């Protein structure tokens, strides 16, 4: 029991949706509304399925001290809700969670910061929240500031910080004030590539110091490099827990259940928060046929339809292909090759990208789609659709490449001289 950091037993969290919060101007209004809700509850002990959703359902697990656990799952699986309960930001509907140790959390940009206070003041505030004494905070202060790279803005109210500055300082505080348990959500994605690499390195250092880390991410490469254990959530339920390699493989296998090569995008879970619903549908064609599977070296066509009633005067469009670890392998944009296609004001249509000979090796891949107006992204959907590349005799030598041989193939000229 002494080495137990977190114990979760039958944890569930239910949210009520589709109901606006009513304003009560008088005591009479509040009493009438309370009576109405009491009558509704008497008709049924369980809320109707139309206005509630279970973000978590009967989740149970234990985490030992010093373990680094990756939490993976699709958007809406309940990962962030779990960390919010463990951070005591929200209460569970049922079940319990025991936390043995001081918790530092980084769940959203600015979590735990007061916008009117300066960066300096927020460092001391966060330290006090974590239960640190002033001399402990002062001992780490210079190291925190150096890591966050905000020396010039240390005495500026954080409400004037950019999102990148916010998250740099927030992570520096959470990681350096020596919490015994560190909870980190996907918020690191806000930073640039250099900062993300720096944060991952710091999390590795924290793990080697024997502290407990729970890390939520869609970056499978980061999960596999940092975590010795992983758990997978699906629709609020814990579906797998164990070695990182096994759980990630199971997650990717589950995500590899391919469709027909056509996905409607109106309610896609991968749409970025704040995006407008502009992208409508994506289709994949392999050698002229609608398909989610293409052979090595085959003709590959991506067709995306969009609609924007206000019209787009400076249309910008991009397609990115990523591997199963979330690493970007290819980018396609008409702006790079044929900018004349993107002129005039458009309200909708289709954009087609055709690759004459796909140079990817066998495996599972994902396509991210981005559409903007030259100033900002109007709509972005990560992993909008997935596809597989099948082995093929691309060199005409009766040899078909197999998986795990890199991500690209390339023709080369060979010559062998005498020895």
Average pLDDT in the 233-246 region? Answer: 89
For helices 134-148 and 119-129, angle between their N-to-C axes, nearest 10 degrees: 130
pLDDT in tens, 70-96: 999 887 889 989 999 998 888 999 999
Give one DSSP letter per residue of 22-39, joined into a string. PP-SSHHHHHHHHHHHHH
Q: Which of 28-37, 158-167, 356-365 has the lowest mean pLDDT?
A: 28-37
Q: What is the pLDDT of residue 253?
A: 61
Cα–Cα distance between 356 and 297 in angstroms, integer? 8
Q: Is the pLDDT of residue 395 over 50?
A: yes
Q: What percent of the chain has pLDDT over 90?
A: 27
| H-helix or E-strand spanning residue 160 | none
Q: What is the pLDDT of residue 256?
A: 44
Average pLDDT in the 379-389 region? Answer: 90
Asked if 14 and 93 touch (Cβ cutoff 8 Å), the reply is yes
Question: Confidence band (pLDDT; 50, 70, 90) for 69?
Answer: very high
pLDDT in tens, 12-65: 999 876 554 455 555 666 666 666 665 555 544 444 455 788 999 999 999 999
Question: Confidence band (pLDDT; 50, 70, 90) for 346?
Answer: confident
β-partners of residue 135 are none
Q: What is the pLDDT of residue 32?
A: 63
Percentage helix, strand, coil for the chain under 3-state DSSP, each rounded to 5: 30, 35, 35
Q: What is the pLDDT of residue 320?
A: 94
Average pLDDT in the 142-170 region? Answer: 86
Average pLDDT in the 98-106 region? Answer: 84
Instruction: Spell out the residues 6+ positions from residue 403 whose beta carbon is closer than 8 angstroms to its own.
Output: 361, 362, 363
Q: Is the pLDDT of residue 251 over 70?
A: yes
Tokens of 267: 């309610």
Q: Is the pLDDT of residue 319 over 90?
A: yes
> What are the backbone angles phi and psi of residue 375, rounded to the nearest 5°?
-105, -45
Q: What is the pLDDT of residue 1?
A: 53
- From start to end of 324-396, where are the E strands? 328-332, 346-355, 363-372, 377-390
Cα–Cα distance between 177 and 123 in angstroms, integer? 9
Cα–Cα distance between 349 and 189 in angstroms, integer? 31
Q: What is the pLDDT of residue 332?
A: 92
For helices 163-176 and 134-148, angle between their N-to-C axes, nearest 10 degrees: 140
Phi-psi region of 414 (alpha: psi -120 to 50; beta: other; left: phi over 0): beta
How much is the mean pLDDT over the chain?
82
CA 265 → CA 31, 280, 353, 369, distances in Å?
A: 44, 5, 18, 10
Asked if 377 and 371 touch (Cβ cutoff 8 Å), the reply is yes
pLDDT in tens, 164-209: 788 788 878 877 877 788 888 876 665 666 777 777 787 778 777 8
Domains annotated for the chain, with CATH where assigned, are 4-22+51-254 (3.40.50.300), 262-390 (2.70.50.60)
Question: Confidence band (pLDDT; 50, 70, 90) for 400?
Answer: low
| H-helix or E-strand spanning residue 175 | helix 163-176
Q: What is the pLDDT of residue 44?
A: 44
> What is the largest distance, in Å, between two alpha-carbon atoms of the chain?
100
Q: What is the pLDDT of residue 364?
A: 85
Q: Is the pLDDT of residue 297 over 60?
A: yes
Q: What is the pLDDT of residue 255?
A: 53
Asked if 336 and 318 touch (Cβ cutoff 8 Å), the reply is no
Cα–Cα distance between 382 and 219 in angstroms, integer? 12
CA 284 → CA 254, 315, 353, distances in Å?
A: 20, 22, 10
Q: What is the pLDDT of residue 244?
A: 87
β-partners of residue 70 are 215, 230
Q: What is the pLDDT of residue 39?
A: 55
Give one DSSP letter per residue of 84-113, joined into a string. HHHTTSS--SEEEEEE-S-EEEE-STTTT-
Cα–Cα distance between 266 and 33 in angstroms, integer? 35
Q: What is the pLDDT of residue 310?
A: 83
């Amino acid at each position: 029991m002494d080495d137990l950091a977190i114990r979760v037993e039958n944890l569930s969290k239910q949210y009520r949706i589709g109901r606006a919060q009513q304003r009560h101007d008088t005591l009479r209004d509040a009493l009438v509304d309370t009576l109405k809700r009491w009558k509704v509850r008497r008709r049924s002990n369980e809320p109707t399925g139309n206005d509630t959703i279970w973000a978590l359902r009967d989740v149970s697990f234990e985490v030992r001290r010093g373990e680094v656990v990756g939490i993976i799952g699709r958007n809406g699986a309940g990962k962030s809700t779990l960390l919010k309960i463990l951070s005591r930001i929200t209460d569970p509907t049922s079940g319990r969670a025991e936390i043995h140790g001081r918790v530092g959390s980084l769940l959203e940009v600015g979590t735990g910061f007061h916008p009117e206070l300066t960066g300096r003041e927020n460092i001391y505030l966060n330290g006090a929240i974590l239960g640190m004494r002033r001399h402990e905070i002062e001992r780490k202060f210079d190291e925190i500031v150096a890591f966050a790279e905000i020396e010039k803005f240390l005495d500026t109210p954080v409400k004037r910080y950019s999102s990148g500055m916010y998250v740099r300082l927030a992570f520096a505080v959470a990681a350096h004030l020596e919490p015994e348990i560190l909870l980190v959500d996907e918020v690191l994605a806000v930073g640039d590539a250099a900062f993300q690499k720096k944060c991952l390195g710091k999390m590795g250092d924290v793990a080697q110091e024997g502290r407990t880390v729970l890390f939520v991410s869609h970056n499978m490469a980061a999960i596999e490099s940092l975590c010795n254990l992983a758990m997978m959530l699906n629709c609020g339920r814990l579906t797998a827990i164990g070695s990182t390699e096994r759980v990630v493989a199971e997650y990717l296998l589950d995500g590899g259940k391919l469709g027909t090569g056509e996905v409607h995008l109106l309610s896609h879970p991968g749409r970025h928060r704040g995006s407008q619903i502009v992208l409508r549908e994506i289709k994949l064609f392999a050698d002229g046929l609608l398909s989610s599977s293409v052979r090595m070296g085959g003709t590959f066509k991506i067709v995306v339809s969009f609609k924007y009633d206000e019209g787009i005067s400076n249309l910008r469009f991009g397609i990115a292909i990523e591997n199963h670890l979330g690493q970007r392998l290819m980018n396609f944009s008409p702006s790079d090759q044929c900018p004349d296609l993107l002129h005039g004001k458009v309200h909708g249509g289709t954009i087609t990208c055709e690759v004459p000979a796909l140079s990817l090796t066998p495996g599972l891949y994902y396509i991210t789609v981005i559409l903007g107006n030259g100033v900002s992204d109007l709509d972005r959907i990560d992993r909008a659709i997935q596809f597989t590349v099948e082995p093929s005799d691309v060199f005409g030598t009766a040899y078909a490449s197999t998986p795990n041989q890199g991500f690209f193939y390339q023709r080369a000229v060979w010559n062998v001289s005498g020895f």
